[in-house]
Amino acid sequence: MAWPMLFRRAARTSASDLGYSRLHHAFRYCGTRAIWRPRARYVMASENTHVLVVDDDPAICRLLHKWLTSAGYIVSFAQNGVDAVTAIDLACPNFLVTDWEMPGGISGIELCRHVRRTELPQYVYTIMLTGRSEADGFVQALESGADDFTRKPVDRSELLARLNAGSRIIELEHRLSLLANSDPLTGLATKRTLNEHLEREWRRARRYRTNLSCVMLDIDFFKRINDTHGHPAGDEVIRTIGRVLSENCRASDFVGRVGGEEFCVLLPETDEEHAVAWAERLRRRVAGTPITFDGKSLAVTVSLGVAQMVDETDAAAQLVDDADQCLLAAKQAGRDRVIGLGELRRINAACRDPQNAAGAIFAGIAARDVMTTIVAALPSDATVGAAARYFLRFRYSSAPVVDAGGQLIGFLSEKDVMNVLLWPDCWTRKIADIMKTNVVCYDEDEPILSIYEFLCRVPIRSVVVSNGGKPTGIISRGTLLRWFSNMVVSRRIHTGVVEDSPPAPDSNELCLTAAAILRQVYELQAALEDGLDDVAPHVIGTASRIQELVNDLLAGAQRDVGPANERVVASSGWGPPRVDSRACEWPADCSVAGHA
């Protein structure tokens, strides 16, 4: 039979009946679908095993086609090494049965090397057909990546037995791949596997100029579920969300679990508009899915961020980062919603617009204008006992730590001190042994809007402000809230808009608060005159109560806005007075350990 007629017959059997497009659809995602399908169980069966035969002998091709198809294998053919490379790229086979010597410039040895060098979606078991008998040739083939051999003329029973032995190896390799690449709780892809697939999809989208969207999903208030119902309930919620994701994805989509309660979905050939619509459907589907654990019904919602790959997307990781920023915006906006990158950019542009109310408030304000000035920084060679006395004296819950030159090197909080109270010799340990070194630090000139957005986005409660590497202040969420409240009140006074201000306090209320302060002072004085054995707890407790009463007195007085206050606030430039920045070091005339 002539060569063209032989390969037309082979094509009618393998490519016409099954179709190379169908082969491509079946085998392109064979590795990925098994990874992200929950509880996917791989079973190697001959009827879904693809064998690529590479030989230039029509008689051998005809014979192998008859044997393999009768055994239930899917068979495709390539006449030479060049055609085999193209066929492998189009539809990666499970087995490669190749002749040693072939026309076209690529021999069987070189084809084996190409298969081992190329990143393929699955392991390709390679069997060499050869009429050689010398040992050196076998060694060369094994070193090039061949797995097995069979001699020419080919024996049917031997070939099928070797394919069956290879099937066991492929099945074992696939099981190991599933264990390494899939999340044990949901069966979805791990973060590493997702990143590898993302890189391939990103390159494909750039090459063919197709759309690629990314969706980040986070379970709302997941920590509350764990704390209230226990971690087994949280695991059940994660499994249910993973199942809902799998059921609502196409064959070309890819899903992975990237964190404790975070998931990522890649949507190839999907623009942002359709990705947002899909995410909204998914959000409603999750909200409507009943989740029951231990007889209790759990109400679960999710927040989603969506981003599309655009011309400015320089790397695949940036696409995920854009979707993650949208997810954070969705959580800040109240959770249980979807926000796309386009909507997020419009929101950010409006916030930074000087004509916008919020933009006008933040305009021209730097970190030094808002920060709380540091009374003193803790030296790293001071003891834990000295740090505890520092916190008690200044009533601070945290403080920056500096080296001998006053440079910021860490951060210490009351919690850090509490964590080591039961350690041996904890009181004499150095601060440097327990401080945190991953300090978030901003320069005094940093726009306050950047710090505001950062503290809204992360669980960190405060940041350190520095000048030349030396800590000069701290900005916490409370600092920003207090500054923002003062700024809004002062602008209302300047513009005469006071209709939303609370009513002026009753003078009787202020008198009662002042009387309570005096009573606390007299009680403390009497207790001290009686000679207490342990003065510190009594003084600290009374002083704390006095401070709360003083705060109430100041808050009540601030509500009584009068002309005098208006003149004071207006003269300050519509806001609180600026604090001169200075490096706040530990006082030179007293040691830390000497603080009472």
Q: CA 389 → CA 198, 480, 542, distances in Å?
A: 52, 27, 17
Smallest CA-to-CA distance from 199 within 254, 144, 149, 136 is with: 254
**DSSP annotation string for 375-406:** S-PEETTSBHHHHHHHHHHHT-SEEEEE-TTS
Q: Cα(101)–Cα(238) distance, rounded to whole angstroms?
A: 53
238: Cα separation from own chain's centroid: 16
Taking a C-beta distance cutoff of 8 angstroms, is the pair 55, 104 a contact? no
Give Cα 226 distance to the centre of its chain.
20
H-type alpha helices, 127-210:
135-144, 156-181, 191-208
Return the DSSP state at 336.
S
> HSE on the CB side for 244, CA within 13 Å?
25
Asked if 198 and 282 touch (Cβ cutoff 8 Å), the reply is no
Phi, psi dihedral angles at 286 (to 5 degrees): -65, -45
CB 248, CB 282: distance < 8 Å: yes
Can you read off the two tokens belonging to residue 113?
């090397």
DSSP string, 1-41: --HHHHHHHHIIIIIITS-HHHHHHHHHTHHHHHHHSTT--
Strand segments (E) across 158-317: 212-219, 254-257, 262-268, 291-293, 296-298, 302-308
DSSP codes of every residue in 546-580: HHHHHHHHHHHHHTS--HHHHHHHHTTTSSPPPPP
- Rg over CA atoms, the chain: 35
CB atoms within 10 A of CB 227: 11
Return the axis-axis angle of helices 108-117 and 81-90, rounded to nearest 10°: 30
Q: Which residues are catalytic?
A: 261
Q: How far apart are CA 569 and CA 577, in angstroms?
A: 9
Burial of 438 (0-12, 13-18, 19+ CB in 10 A): exposed
Residue 320: which of 248, 257, 266, 242 has the closest Cα? 266
Phi, psi of 330 (to 5 degrees): -65, -40
Place of tokens 């979905």: 265
The sheet with strand 408-413 has its strands ordered as 378-379, 398-402, 408-413
Q: Of 596, 587, 592, nearest to 383 (Cα)?
A: 592
Rounded-to-integer distance, Cα 327 and Cα 276, Å: 12
